[in-house]
């Protein structure tokens, strides 16, 4: 239950000091700017462009995005829920190892899996080549599932996104009281029927929240769908912006995708508001029941298959591909890719966590409508795909650059060039908007353990509000803030659409290099930067695994 905030006796609510107000307004305004600018650019764009989109590609984009979304949500909800229930409620050989291994696919971007599986399963790949050699069939004598398809894209996304559902569902199952489960078993219900009638309904809010996170990641994906040739809104935005050079079309497609993302956010809020998590007590811990024989083997396979397909097998395939590649990871060119990626990730992580700390601390130390609104706007960025944020920032800042350049040419005869759109700082701003919600979530997770009496005691002892934040909050929040830094850093390393659209000239990252090589069908070369991205992505996963180990003990 949330604690009610208090103020010192006789203290009146008043406006925050001007610098704090200005900082909160600037951060919230920057987070809101992409949505506003996309809407404005779409409204002032040519209606002929919109009519042409409606006649040609809009219907295909909408239907493809919808079918992909439904397929990924169904797969992740099923796999995440079943595996979470098995490792939480049952006992079988290998359960403790699988409990941790099931989290590993979070380290892999979906487009990395797409490169690995295409190299193996495509027509010239190892699997089909061996099949033709063994059977003697020709290329047209057999049917094989097409990896470059809507179904293939859904499978790749589901393999890396199911841990969202798994982690939340696992926590929900662990927190349930064992009394209802034991009562159902005492009334003669089988474990499976008890799962359907008792455990699953109680965990539904957590499963719905995880599935909505998966949905937002799915509509934001560009690398996987573009490589597989699946025509979604994300692909349409990039094509309109770069290939067709039609900014109005890109803005209008971005507005449609933004509306869809915000609708998902509203649905997630509604589902969370109508249901609550069922928290059990320690003495009511859920009983585990032992699986043996065939049931134990089936449970092991159900948990091992998604973990192997989502992490272990792709890592082995990428390693084999990298060994046959001519790409030199230690060459000056690749070292520049690594340096650029680390630089962007480090700067964006520090800026994002600092902004989240500012908004969260303001809302805690002096709650007002302004601070609450700024915090809410900061969370909205996670629902906005990276491509939409990129378009929403480039449109106004490109106009600002052009206006300043024209002014200085007219007044002083000099050109200012691209002050904003030609720098990495606008790209860092896009990352901050995109991943602010993750940093705020980490902050709120740590702040939930701090009683407001600590704040009051520090104020009585003479600390001002920022003294309370510096000397009380920050030491207690240090683990949460470090986790937030790491999560944002890794997310920036994996982010592709915003980086592709907004990166400065001749400033490529590992993700961009992997995408470029894969687009040229140089999959063995793409394996090298992909492996580095996956290795760095293991850092937050290791933190999650340590947390799982502490929960188990």
Mean pLDDT (whole number) for 279-299: 70
- Residue 8 confidence (pLDDT): 45
Contact 454, 396 (CB under 8 A): no
d(CA 216, CA 323): 35
CA–CA distances in Å: residue 333 to residues 305, 328, 513, 529:
37, 9, 11, 12
Name the pLDDT band for 431 (thresholds 50, 70, 90): very high
Which pLDDT belongs to residue 15? Answer: 43
With 0-12 / 13-18 / 19 or more C-beta atoms within 10 angstroms meaning exposed / middle / buried, residue 13 is: exposed
| pLDDT band with cut points at 50, 70 and 90 for residue 541 | confident
Domains of the chain: 18-46+326-537 (1.10.3720.10), 70-230+276-323 (1.10.3720.10)
Residue 91 β-bridge partners:
290
In sign, the C-alpha dihedral spanning 244, 249, 255, 256 is negative
CA–CA gap between residue 378 and residue 363 (Å, rounded) = 12
Backbone angles phi, psi at 182, to 5 degrees: -65, -35
Q: What is the mean pLDDT of residues 87-95?
A: 86
CB atoms within 10 A of CB 544: 18
Residues paired with residue 289 on neighbouring β-strands, in sequence order: 90
Calculate the alpha carbon distances from 165 to 76, 103, 217, 337, 501 in Å: 7, 10, 13, 33, 30
Residue 486 contacts residue 543 (beta carbons within 8 Å):
yes
Report pTM.
0.81
What is d(CA 278, CA 205) in angstroms, rounded to the nearest whole number? 9
CA nearest neighbour of 351 among 281, 278, 426: 426
Write down the mean pLDDT value for the chain. Answer: 80
Tell whether the model's pLDDT for residue 429 goes beyond 70.
yes
pLDDT for 83 equals 93
Predicted confidence (pLDDT) per residue in 145-199, tens digit: 888 899 999 999 999 999 888 988 887 777 766 666 666 666 666 666 666 666 6
């Amino acid at each position: 239950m949330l604690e009610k905030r208090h103020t010192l006796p006789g203290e009146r609510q008043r406006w925050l000091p001007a610098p704090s107000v200005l900082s909160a307004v600037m951060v919230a305004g920057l987070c809101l700017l992409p949505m506003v600018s996309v809407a404005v650019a779409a409204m002032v764009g040519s209606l002929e462009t919109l009519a042409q989109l409606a006649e040609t590609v809009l219907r295909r984009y909408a239907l493809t995005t919808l079918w992909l979304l439904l397929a990924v949500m169904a797969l992740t909800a099923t796999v995440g829920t079943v595996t979470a229930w098995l490792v939480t409620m049952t006992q079988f050989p290998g359960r403790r190892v699988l409990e941790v291994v099931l989290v590993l696919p979070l380290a892999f971007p979906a487009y990395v899996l797409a490169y690995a599986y295409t190299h193996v399963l495509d027509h010239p790949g190892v699997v089909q080549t061996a099949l033709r050699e063994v059977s003697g069939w020709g290329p047209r004598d057999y049917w094989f599932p097409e990896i470059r398809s809507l179904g293939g894209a859904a499978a790749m996304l589901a393999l890396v996104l199911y841990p969202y559902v798994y982690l939340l569902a696992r926590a929900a199952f662990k927190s349930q009281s064992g009394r209802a489960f034991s009562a159902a078993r005492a009334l003669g219900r089988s474990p499976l029927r008890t799962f359907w009638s008792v455990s699953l309904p109680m965990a539904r809010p957590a499963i719905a929240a995880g599935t909505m996170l998966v949905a937002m990641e799915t509509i934001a994906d560009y690398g996987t769908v573009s490589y597989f040739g699946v025509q979604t809104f994300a692909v349409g935005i990039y094509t309109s912006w770069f290939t067709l050079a039609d900014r109005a079309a890109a803005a209008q497609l971005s507005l449609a995708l933004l509306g869809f993302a915000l609708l998902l956010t509203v649905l997630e809020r509604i589902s969370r508001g109508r249901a609550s998590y069922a928290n059990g007590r320690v003495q009511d811990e859920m009983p585990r029941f032992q699986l043996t024989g065939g049931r134990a083997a089936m449970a092991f396979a159900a948990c091992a298959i998604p973990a192997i397909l989502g992490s272990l097998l792709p890592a082995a395939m990428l390693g084999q591909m990298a060994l046959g590649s001519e790409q030199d990871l230690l060459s000056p060119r690749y070292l520049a890719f690594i340096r650029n990626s680390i630089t962007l990730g480090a700067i964006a992580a520090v800026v994002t966590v600092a902004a989240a700390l500012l908004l969260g601390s303001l809302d805690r130390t002096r709650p007002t409508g302004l601070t609450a609104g700024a915090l809410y706007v900061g969370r909205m960025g996670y629902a906005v795909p990276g491509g939409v944020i990129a378009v929403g920032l480039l449109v106004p800042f490109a106009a600002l650059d052009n206006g300043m350049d024209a002014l200085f040419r007219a007044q002083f005869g000099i050109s200012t060039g691209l002050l904003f759109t030609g720098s990495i700082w606008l790209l860092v701003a896009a990352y901050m908007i995109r991943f602010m919600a993750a940093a705020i979530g980490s902050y709120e997770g740590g702040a939930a353990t701090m009683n407001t009496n600590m704040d009051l005691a520090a104020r009585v002892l003479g600390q001002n509000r920022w003294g309370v934040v510096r000397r009380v909050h920050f030491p207690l929040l240090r683990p949460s803030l470090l986790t937030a830094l790491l999560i944002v850093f890794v997310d920036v390393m994996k982010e592709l659409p915003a980086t592709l659209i907004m990166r400065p000239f001749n400033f490529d990252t590992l993700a961009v290099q992997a995408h470029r090589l894969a687009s040229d069908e140089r999959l063995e070369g793409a394996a090298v930067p992909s492996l580095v991205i996956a290795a760095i992505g293991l850092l937050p996963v290791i933190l999650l695994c340590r947390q799982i180990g502490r929960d188990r003990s």
